[in-house]
Chains A and B, each alone.
Chain A
Amino acid sequence: AQTVTQSQPEMSVQEAETVTLSCTYDTSESDYYLFWYKQPPSRQMILVIRQEAYKQQNATENRFSVNFQKAAKSFSLKISDSQLGDAAMYFCAYRSPNYGGSQGNLIFGKGTKLSVKP
């Protein structure tokens, strides 16, 4: 079964600086999908960025980018020019390409709580 590990329960960053959140995963599949979700204090789960494993190019969404290392099974999230609104819980998630079974659901890491200092 696939697993997702986020080894940093909490991180802190100064406003306007850059921070990287770590995520590793374990799978025997060659194709899959990876996601980062943000959960602010409002509890809403918000998609930040996604990466398809068959794409070598790292995904980028404005100030958010990933460092996807397929061989190392690593999927870190970099937040540039951090803003106060980035303070939240961040979850890394894995999704199998096998639709129709439980594998089609998201498998989450335990999360990293990010604080942003003014």
Chain B
Amino acid sequence: NAGVTQTPKFQVLKTGQSMTLQCAQDMNHEYMSWYRQDPGMGLRLIHYSVGAGITDQGEVPNGYNVSRSTTEDFPLRLLSAAPSQTSVYFCASSYSEVWTEAFFGQGTRLTVV
């Protein structure tokens, strides 16, 4: 059971470039979300999805797009990378029952130069 798989693990981008962070889960979870982790800031919610075809913004959505065409996949797109988007990105998934734990991918360390 692979759980939540994020790719790539590391990425360096130049300012203005675009890229997609991939996230896939094999647990049939309805809930999926993207967080960014910055030093001293904890994890902040970027976008989330409660099911295929349904997405919404979190706390820090600017500069990011998401889509959810299948239950398994929830990619995060950076449209035009900026140095302020240098961060560690985590994808998480869980069942719809809110008492259940969220499972996290191993994170992507992104550097924008």
Q: Which residues in A have some Cβ–Cβ distance to B below 8 Å?
A: 4, 6, 9, 33, 35, 42-45, 47, 50, 52, 91, 95-102, 104-111
Contact = CB atoms under 8 A, between A and B. Distances in A.
A44 B58 contact: no
A50 B97 CA distance: 14
Interface residues of B, number: 27
The A interface is mostly helix, strand or loop, or mixed, namely loop
A44 B42 contact: no
B50 interface: yes
A94 B56 CA distance: 19
Given A50-B101, A52-B99, 8 more contacts: A9-B40, A33-B98, A44-B106, A99-B97, A102-B45, A105-B31, A108-B35, A110-B41
The B interface is mostly helix, strand or loop, or mixed, namely strand
Interface of B: 31, 33, 35, 40-45, 48, 50, 56-58, 88, 90, 92, 96-99, 101-102, 104, 106-107, 109
A9 to B, nearest CB: 7
Contacts of B101: 35, 47, 50
Contact of B96 (A95, A96, A99): A99
A99 B98 contact: yes
A53 B100 CA distance: 14
14 contacts: A35-B101, A43-B107, A44-B106, A44-B107, A91-B43, A99-B96, A101-B56, A104-B31, A104-B50, A104-B98, A105-B45, A105-B58, A107-B45, A110-B41
Contact of B98 (A42, A96, A107): A96
